[in-house]
Structure 1
Amino acid sequence: MISLMVGQSIAAGHLHEDDLLVDLLPELKKGGAYDKITVRHLLDMSSGIDVSEDYSGILMTGTPRMYLTTDLPNFVKDNRALRFTPGSKGEYRSVDTQLLGQILHRVEGKSVAALLQERIWQPMGAEDDATWNLDREGGTEKSFCCLNATARDFAKIGQLALDNGRAGDRQIVPQAWIDRLSTPAVTMSNGWSYSAQWWHPSGAKGDFSAVGVYGQYIYVNPAERTVIVKLSYHGTEQDEQETIDAMRDLSHNLRH
């Protein structure tokens, strides 16, 4: 969802992929390589920011700590160390998505939830209300997670991507942005490709997916004109390739 809204802001001229993070959120200026992070780096998970994706729950650091904080703006300010030079490789980091959400809020002057409602949820004809978790009452959206909605409305998001950003007779998300997110940009250590917050699993032939850490999927297969949503509560990253393979088989068999 963050990706789609970033694409809308870019099309409106409010944001550019080459914009520096610290120009958009000046309070994060640190000096050195951190100040070279761009919106493109955040979109493609190549920022290098050292907020780990360790979900073991033993030390409660990294992303689990970000989930628990009651002050997300201060959390990202306190976690500006780098693991690698921005843009040198891809490595999944939820903090990148959180920063994109805060950028959207800053450049658009509205909360992420309000932007979603106005620019996507209502225009695409969502059937049910959705909620987005905050760090505290009246606080900041957890842009990296925690959008709660029905399977049918998540499927409408997939259909929006399948239909090149259109819902009925309305162009909600620019087709150029759908082209951007559906074209692999970087390869992650697990062998999957990634682009503008969407995954391109191993063996992809134009299919792509939004994937949640515990087994949530919006799978889009343009060749088969199929969208599949799966909501579940698995172990961390459990059976992801097997699930994608099953969805590919389902897509083919539904069409043939």
Structure 2
Amino acid sequence: MEELFPSRRIAPAAVALPLKEPAGPLGFTYSYNGKTKNLEDFAADTRSSGLLILHGDQILHERYYMGAAPDSRFVSFSVGKSFVSTLIGIALAEGKIRSLDDRMIDYLPELKGGAYEKTTIKDVLEMSSGTEFDEEYTSPKSGIAGFLGRFDANQGGLYDFSRQFKSAHAPGARFNYASADTEILGALLAKATGARPADYMAEKLWKPMGAESEARWILDQPGDAGREVAAGGLLIRLRDYARFGYLAAHDGMVDGRQVLPKGWIALATQPQRAQVQYGKLGDGPLGYGYQWWLIPGPDRAFTGEGIYGQFLMVNPELDLVVVKTSAWTAAWDDPMALETFAMFDALSAQVRAGKR
């Protein structure tokens, strides 16, 4: 992706957060659709390009496929939304954002007259802005089709496109997954902090958490005028995705340092209002937090998800992180997604039982 689109550098830490190398093959199997499978079966059957399992600071499994390698940077797609939410939390703690109950137009007055005029920051974080934008990848007339067309053209205007939509519902009343919402959050982040999001991420998140490698953030057009594509334009190596997952699993703490505001991850990964409770989003049992998908079960697990099979799955209670990058042939593949969750559930059960 970085060969196709302009991007902005996100500088790494001077000293990386150390991760322990795998001690040997992970003897993990799971049952799915009447078959017993191992992780190589899983990777092949779900078209994985990378797979990393982290338990505490111990890498249990790390493999690359489809020509990828440890120095490959994998595009986040919508997993990047969870990073944007985290940066909003940092800006809130710093006082750059006064309250999540503030209206978006308090920071972005140009939103007056559109879907975001009456929305709060919290509404947008919860994908409950009320915008008419629709995320239907199979329709050439959908909001996301127009968004991706502008993304591919790389001539700017993603923010202006995202804010042009009108309201379909009252803010805060209905869940409607919309990449436009995250693009608006990216503009809020830039305006509130006075910094380019890539620079803010480098100084407030990437360096403090101990990222090993430079990341990149895709821009909607070349040069200084380019805006970071907040809805899903990060390019990150597998181990640094895992380090971010480790940070999320540890309430934002690394090496005794509070990198993220204490309690932010817990706040961002619980369903707060009726429309985002578990099983209320539409099809399926998931809930929604602040740009994180919430996994039901005995633990407080959550995941970032991106089209074409990108996952950053975190179980804080078990100190478990799974990073899966993929090259699905469609934007979304229900059978592959279901198997990914089944594998994660089985792995969580084994860790819970004290097995690796």
Name the TM-score class by shorter chain. over 0.9
| Preserved CA contact (<8 Å) 1:97 1:144 | yes
Task: Specify the code of the residue in structure 1 equivalent to 2:169.
Answer: F
How far 1:143 sits from its partner (Å)? 0.1
SS in 2 for 1:197: coil
What are the equivalent positions in structure 2 for 1:109-120 lying under 5 Å apart?
Answer: 109-120=194-205
Aligned with 2:137 (options 55, 72, 91): 55
Identity %: 35
Larger RCO (CA within 8 A; separation ≥ 6):
2
Aligned residues: 253
CA distance in 1, matches of 2:148, 2:220: 8
Aligned with 1:24 (options 98, 101, 107): 107
Bigger Cα Rg? 2
Structure 2: unaligned runs, 5 residues or longer: 1-82, 151-155
Aligned with 1:173 (options 260, 274, 288): 260
SS in 2 for 1:85: coil
How far 1:34 sits from its partner (Å)? 4.1
Structure 1: unaligned runs, 5 residues or longer: none
Q: 2:282 aligned with 1:189, yes or no?
A: yes
How far 1:120 sits from its partner (Å)? 0.8
Bigger shift: residues 175-184 or 200-209? 200-209
SS in 1 for 2:95: coil
What are the equivalent positions in structure 2 for 1:166-245 lying under 5 Å apart?
Answer: 166-185=253-272, 186-187=276-277, 188-190=281-283, 191-203=285-297, 205-234=299-328, 235-238=330-333, 239-245=336-342
Provide the residue aligned with 2:247 in structure 1.
Answer: 160
CA distance in 2, matches of 1:199, 1:159: 17
Please list every run of at least 4 consecutive aligned residues from structure 1 whose deviation after the TM superposition is greater than 6 angstroms.
none
Provide the residue aligned with 2:58 in structure 1.
Answer: none
Task: Specify the code of the residue in structure 2 equivalent to 1:116.
Answer: M
For normalisation by structure 2, the TM-score amounts to: 0.68
CA distance in 1, matches of 2:85, 2:101: 15
Aligned with 1:45 (options 127, 132, 157): 127
Task: Specify the code of the residue in structure 2 equivalent to 1:62.
Answer: G
Greater fraction strand = 2
Bigger shift: residues 93-102 or 167-176? 167-176
For normalisation by structure 1, the TM-score amounts to: 0.93
Bigger shift: residues 201-210 or 228-237? 201-210
Provide the residue aligned with 1:86 in structure 2.
Answer: 171
What are the equivalent positions in structure 2 for 1:91-102 lying under 5 Å apart?
Answer: 91-102=176-187
Task: Specify the code of the residue in structure 2 equivalent to 1:118.
Answer: E
Greater fraction helix = 1
For the aligned residues, what is the CA RMSD? 1.7
| Preserved CA contact (<8 Å) 1:44 1:90 | yes
Provide the residue aligned with 1:65 in structure 2.
Answer: 146
How far 1:242 sits from its partner (Å)? 2.8
